[in-house]
Amino acid sequence: MSYANVSEMLANSEFLAKVEDLAKSYPEPRTALLPALHLCQAELRHVPVEFQAFIAERLGMAPAHVRGVVTFYEMYSEKQLGRYLLQVCKTLPCMLAGSEILLEHLQAKLALKPGQTSGDGRFTLITVECIACCDGGPALMVNETLHRHVTPADADRILGELE
């Protein structure tokens, strides 16, 4: 299910049941924090402060602790991400394989700089330190799908195949 905003999500009994199931599936409710953040990120494409406050209260921890986790891990974002998150690896193995060329191509094609989201909300382009695909560079992740040895032509094909 897709929610228009955090208020709608937190008012949905199905979503709240998922959160409760997560909290109950761990010996300590606090240990459900990362899965709960993943759940929110998957539903809203970000983890807003309202959800951070909600989950902090539900799991019995300080909101500052939750925010520290959200801002520490690159997999979470407080800023709304596009429908498609394009992650270009910028570590040395990928750079040697051509990730800078791939990044320049995506920037020109989408008229985005790293960290920006397209006006239509379709794409967010970011660079990441490592995708753990050093033998497959340049590597590009589109949401949860890893693409290896991506050329600019491959990137055009991949983007063209997205809904």
pLDDT in tens, 25-35: 999 989 999 99
The pLDDT of 72-96, averaged and rounded, is 91
Report the 10 Å Cβ neighbour count for 157: 12
pLDDT > 70: what percent of the chain?
Answer: 99
Residue 79 falls inside a structural domain: no
Q: Do 113 and 150 meet the contact criterion of CB atoms below 8 Å apart?
A: no
Domain boundary among 49, 72, 95: 72
Same domain, 155 and 92: yes
At 132, which CATH number? 3.40.30.10
Same domain, 123 and 90: yes
Q: What is the predicted pLDDT for the residue at 1?
A: 57
Write the CA distances from 86 to 20, 39, 72, 143, integer angstroms.
31, 19, 20, 7
**Residue 124, SS3?**
strand
Q: Is 151 left (phi over 0), alpha (psi -120 to 50) or beta?
A: beta
Residue 149's pLDDT band (cuts 50, 70, 90): very high
Query: How far apart are the C-alpha atoms of 111 and 98, rounded to whole Å?
Result: 20
Residue 52's pLDDT band (cuts 50, 70, 90): very high
How many domains would you assign to the chain? 2
Residue 123 falls inside a structural domain: yes
Same domain, 89 and 147: yes
Q: What is the predicted pLDDT for the residue at 144?
A: 87
Residue 38 falls inside a structural domain: yes
Token pair of 50, please?
């309202």
Residue 90 falls inside a structural domain: yes
Same domain, 36 and 100: no
Instruction: Tell me whether residue 6 is exposed, middle or buried, using C-beta atoms within 10 angstroms of its C-beta: 0 to 12, 13 to 18, 19 or more.
Output: buried
Query: Has residue 163 got a pLDDT over 90?
Result: no
Compute φ and ψ for 35, nearest 5 degrees: -60, -35
pTM of the entire predicted model? 0.78
* Domain region containing 43: 6-72
Domain boundary among 72, 97, 127: 72
The pLDDT of 109-118, averaged and rounded, is 95
Same domain, 90 and 155: yes
Identify the residue whose tokens are 């049941």: 17
Beta bridge partners of 89: 128
